[in-house]
């Protein structure tokens, strides 16, 4: 048995930059520490979607969630028989600080850092966005190009190789510095790189760090942006041979085969960086009213967007709607080709006439009618209408703002949430939680200050039932508005206990009036024992009473804030699956108005987890495409344990499609029932990979072009891990029958 600890980031201090229009907190990443916990963005819960996400400290990341299994597959006549799944891009992150830019790439399956050939990641960077101004062909003979309007000035390339005897002396290893190309042939070796296998928790990652100075420096101004094109390869550039390109997968909304049909990657992402190198969203959703009382729903609904920058933003290509992710039945609308000036807000109203009756003082140039905006049907096929209730049952609603490349630059969700739902909430977005099963009539939800962006609806928004001012950005909430958050580890390994961990409690007063006699409490659960605390100047620790820690602040000025750090020890002997819930609160005298109290209490949960097996199975079935009817062919079933515990009593079941008959296998199945083949494996240890070679024959009656679907499944007793992010326990793949040769007789006259 082999166990490995789950890494936990211990935050020494957290600056709560809640009120900056563009948060200034730096997001540094430690490349090479074998831990991914310094990347907070989990990514959208839908395939082929990218988003800008933030945390309570105002740090920013771009995260792309790529579809699994959309990579190019090796052709049957390939002499190498590569399993290109090992370079199937599934996630891509970007963040930065004042010195470096950081990249994180995750592939669907990686059999270990000893894997040969190693994964290669290539990221091209276009700085000027002028068509054909720069290089379009990617370097290092990968025979792949980027779009002409993404011609690059710099390309970052990882240089990994497996850390075993196959690496010649002096060659690069799994922690090698990347190359940065400034032309097709000129490179420099800079920064840091780390390849982590699936044997590490949440592995199959490549992590890169490159100094800004190596790619021409940070953008000169925040309105400048960088354009990124991303692709994956094997380090020796072997690849499927159905196309000339050596690329295996790309960051794109389609599959890699169609994306690379002409040898060019046409998809890219544009990102803005502020003076400290942080990724930021150029536009924000600043207010919305989902249940007007003086009009038929949804006629009186409206959504306000805001430009928090010191420069104007062209709305050309931006979209707004209530369809959170690509391809759904709710609505997404294309915004008009006009510029939203710095610090200005714009209202998109469902019915302008009804809106003007309710808000007659809003200038006409600050209001746009929804019905005049063309739908963006490749994202959402319905109309925009904000949900207000669900017959007393849990529900959620989303408002999404997309940039011209369909990156989600802002996503706001609100929900009536109970223990049983709703499901499908974005893991990077905390929703505004409604106090009851319906939206309060005539209540608008306003981001205040308008530039606040922590991806936490409870922190960023407050509720108006009267006095809304659409078209005007909120600067401060009237009166006192205390807000509190809690940052801490989301999980801890059972074998690590007892263990001392750290929580950070940011707090602030977003109101226009100073708060007096402020009291902050942190109620520790029975599983935690208090060790020590440290707080911002002016915060007095009043001590511990039972399980409750208390701090006092005599006065907290308007727009002021700070943080408290708490160290506590998790008890030994906790069972796997134990949820440790820690609750903090903030209050003042006199008490706040009811409309601003929704963010005065916060809970943070941490799950105790035991080491578990994580078995997975995949095949080369699709690589047998092209086999003609009546011919024999073969494929390989690969199975692996990438978890932290041994797997036992393993069953592998392969169901061959109709028209395919089993011939033999190098490991005889324990049973053959019709087209169902079954194997049994007693034990699969940590990081162990096994294989079964299967010989089959295609029926004479199959027609060329027929799609033959093969399904293989793996299970164990006890079952393997079932949490989010596990390796798949089944695979369904398709073999396309080849076409026979046609002979046309010739008659000589």
74 within a domain of the structure (yes/no): yes
Shared domain for 589 and 620, answered yes or no, is no
Is the peptide bond prior to 381 cis by the omega test (within 30 degrees of 0)?
A: no
7 within a domain of the structure (yes/no): no
Q: What share of the chain is helix, strand, coil (3-state, %, to 5)?
A: 5, 40, 55
324 within a domain of the structure (yes/no): yes
pLDDT confidence tier of residue 439, bands split at 50, 70 and 90: very high
What DSSP element (H or E) covers 352? helix 352-358
Both tokens assigned to 181 = 């190309």
Listed residue (67, 66, 80) closest to 623, CA to CA:
80
Structure confidence at residue 195 (pLDDT): 84
Mean pLDDT of 355-369: 95
Number of domains in the chain: 4
Query: What CATH number should be reported for the domain holding residue 489?
Result: 2.60.40.1530
pLDDT confidence tier of residue 8, bands split at 50, 70 and 90: very low
Structure confidence at residue 241 (pLDDT): 60
pLDDT confidence tier of residue 74, bands split at 50, 70 and 90: low
Mean pLDDT of 468-484: 92
pLDDT beyond 50 at 660: yes
Shared domain for 624 and 586, answered yes or no, is no
pLDDT confidence tier of residue 342, bands split at 50, 70 and 90: very high
**Bigger pLDDT: 114 or 237?**
237
749 within a domain of the structure (yes/no): no
pLDDT beyond 70 at 12: no
Work out the percent of the chain whose per-residue pLDDT is above 70: 89
Shared domain for 128 and 167, answered yes or no, is yes
Q: How far apart are CA 177 and CA 365, in angstroms?
A: 52
Strands 367-369 and 345-349: parallel
Shared domain for 598 and 657, answered yes or no, is no
pLDDT beyond 80 at 641: yes
Shared domain for 506 and 568, answered yes or no, is yes
pLDDT confidence tier of residue 230, bands split at 50, 70 and 90: very high
pLDDT beyond 70 at 749: no
pLDDT confidence tier of residue 73, bands split at 50, 70 and 90: confident
pLDDT digit string, tens, across residues 372-383: 999 999 999 999
Q: What is the pTM of this model?
A: 0.78
Structure confidence at residue 640 (pLDDT): 84
217 within a domain of the structure (yes/no): yes
Mean pLDDT of 103-122: 80
Average pLDDT, the chain: 87
Which structural domain, as residue segments, surrounds residue 566? 482-609
Please provide residue 459's backbone torsions phi and psi, each rounded to the nearest 5 degrees.
-85, -40
Both tokens assigned to 408 = 């989600």
15 within a domain of the structure (yes/no): no
Mean pLDDT is lowest, of 164-173, 630-639, 676-685, for 164-173
Shared domain for 325 and 220, answered yes or no, is no
Shared domain for 546 and 453, answered yes or no, is no
DSSP state of 703: P
Structure confidence at residue 3 (pLDDT): 30
Q: How far apart are CA 219 and CA 216, in angstroms?
A: 8
Mean pLDDT is lowest, of 93-107, 186-200, 269-283, 286-300, for 186-200
Angle at 566 between CA 562 and CA 572, to 5 degrees: 160
pLDDT beyond 70 at 24: no
Shared domain for 135 and 266, answered yes or no, is yes
pLDDT confidence tier of residue 344, bands split at 50, 70 and 90: very high
Alpha carbon separation from 712 to 8, 198, 707 (Å, rounded): 36, 21, 16
Shared domain for 554 and 665, answered yes or no, is no
Shared domain for 391 and 345, answered yes or no, is yes
38 within a domain of the structure (yes/no): no
Structure confidence at residue 203 (pLDDT): 52
Structure confidence at residue 250 (pLDDT): 96
Q: Say how many C-beta atoms besides its own lie within 10 A of residue 563's C-beta.
A: 22
Query: What CATH number should be reported for the domain holding residue 389?
Result: 2.60.40.1260
90 within a domain of the structure (yes/no): yes
Owner of token pair 């592939």:
107
pLDDT digit string, tens, across residues 579-619: 899 999 999 988 888 878 888 998 888 888 777 788 888 88
Alpha carbon separation from 237 to 234, 509, 584, 702 (Å, rounded): 5, 55, 53, 35
Mean pLDDT of 48-74: 88
For 350-416, list the strands marked E by DSSP: 367-369, 380-382, 395-402, 408-416
Identify the three-state secondary structure at position 303: strand
Structural domain ending residue among the three candidates 609, 631, 666: 609
Structure confidence at residue 26 (pLDDT): 65
Shared domain for 205 and 264, answered yes or no, is yes
Shared domain for 238 and 354, answered yes or no, is no
Structural domain ending residue among the three candidates 559, 577, 609: 609
């Amino acid at each position: 048995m082999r166990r490995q600890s789950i890494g936990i980031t211990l935050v020494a201090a957290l600056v709560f930059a809640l009120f900056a229009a563009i948060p200034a907190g730096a997001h540094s990443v430690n490349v090479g520490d074998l831990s991914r916990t310094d990347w907070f963005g989990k990514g959208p819960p839908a395939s082929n979607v990218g988003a800008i996400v933030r945390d309570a400290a105002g740090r920013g990341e771009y995260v792309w969630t790529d579809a699994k299994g959309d990579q190019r597959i090796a052709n049957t006549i390939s002499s190498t028989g590569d399993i290109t799944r090992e370079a199937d891009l599934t996630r891509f992150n970007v963040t930065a600080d004042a010195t470096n830019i950081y990249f994180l790439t995750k592939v669907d399956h990686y059999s270990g850092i000893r894997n040969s050939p190693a994964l290669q990641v290539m990221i091209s960077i276009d700085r000027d966005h002028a068509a054909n101004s720069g290089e379009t062909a990617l370097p290092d003979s990968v025979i792949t190009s980027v779009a002409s309007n993404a011609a690059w000035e710099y390309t970052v390339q990882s240089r990994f190789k497996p850390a075993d005897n196959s690496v010649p002396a002096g060659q690069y290893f799994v922690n090698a510095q990347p190359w940065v190309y400034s032309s097709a042939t000129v490179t420099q070796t800079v920064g840091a790189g780390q390849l982590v296998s699936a044997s590490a928790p949440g592995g199959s990652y490549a992590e890169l760090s490159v100094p800004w100075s190596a790619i021409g420096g940070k953008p000169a101004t925040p309105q400048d942006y960088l354009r990124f094109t991303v692709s994956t390869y094997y380090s020796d550039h072997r690849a499927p041979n159905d196309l000339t390109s050596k690329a295996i997968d790309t960051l794109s909304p389609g599959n890699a085969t169609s994306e690379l049909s002409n040898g060019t990657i046409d998809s890219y992402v544009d990102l803005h960086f502020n003076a400290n190198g942080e990724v930021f969203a150029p536009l924000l959703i600043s207010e919305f009213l989902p249940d007007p009382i003086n009009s038929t729903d949804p006629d009186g609904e409206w959504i306000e967007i805001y430009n928090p920058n010191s420069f104007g933003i062209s709305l050309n290509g931006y979209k707004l709607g209530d369809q959170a992710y690509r391809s759904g039945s709710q609505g997404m609308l294309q915004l008009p080709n006009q510029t939203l000036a710095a610090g200005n807000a714009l209202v998109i109203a469902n019915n302008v006439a009804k809106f003007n009756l309710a808000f007659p003082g809003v200038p006409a140039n600050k209001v746009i009618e929804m019905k005049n905006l063309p739908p963006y049907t490749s994202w959402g096929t319905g109309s925009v209408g904000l949900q207000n209730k669900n017959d007393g049952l849990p529900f959620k609603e989303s408002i999404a703002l997309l940039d011209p490349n369909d990156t989600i630059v802002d996503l706001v969700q609100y929900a009536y949430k109970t223990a049983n739902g709703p499901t499908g909430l974005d893991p990077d977005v905390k929703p505004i939680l409604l106090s009851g099963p319906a939206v309060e009539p005539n209540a608008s939800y306003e981001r205040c200050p308008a530039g606040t962006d922590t991806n936490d609806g409870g922190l960023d928004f407050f509720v108006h039932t009267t006095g809304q001012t659409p078209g005007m950005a909120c600067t401060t909430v009237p009166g006192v508005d205390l807000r509190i958050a809690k940052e801490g580890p989301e999980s801890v390994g059972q074998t690590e206990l007892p263990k001392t961990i750290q929580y950070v409690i940011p707090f602030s007063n977003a109101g226009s009036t100073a708060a007096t006699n402020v009291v902050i409490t942190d109620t520790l659960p029975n599983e935690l024992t208090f060790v020590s605390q440290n707080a911002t100047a002016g915060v007095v620790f009043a001590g511990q009473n039972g399980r409750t820690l208390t701090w006092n602040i005599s006065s907290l000025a308007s727009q002021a804030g700070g943080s408290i750090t708490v160290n506590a020890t998790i008890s030994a002997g906790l069972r796997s699956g134990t949820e440790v819930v820690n609750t903090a609160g903030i209050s003042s005298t006199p008490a706040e108005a009811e409309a601003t109290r929704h963010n005065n209490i916060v809970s943070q949960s941490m799950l105790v987890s035991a080491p578990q097996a994580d078995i997975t199975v995949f095949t080369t079935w699709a690589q047998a495409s092209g086999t003609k009817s009546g011919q024999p062919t073969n494929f390989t079933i690969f199975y692996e344990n990438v978890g932290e515990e041994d797997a036992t009593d393993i069953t592998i079941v392969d169901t061959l499609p109709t028209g395919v008959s089993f011939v033999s296998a190098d490991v005889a199945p324990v049973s053959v029932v019709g087209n169902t083949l079954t194997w049994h494996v007693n034990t699969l240890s940590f990081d162990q990979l096994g294989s079964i070679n299967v010989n089959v024959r295609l029926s004479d009656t199959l027609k060329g072009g027929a799609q033959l679907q093969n399904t293989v499944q793996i299970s164990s007793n006890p079952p393997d891990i079932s949490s989010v992010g596990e390796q798949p326990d089944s695979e369904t793949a398709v073999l396309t029958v080849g076409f026979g040769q046609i002979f046309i007789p010739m008659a000589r006259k």
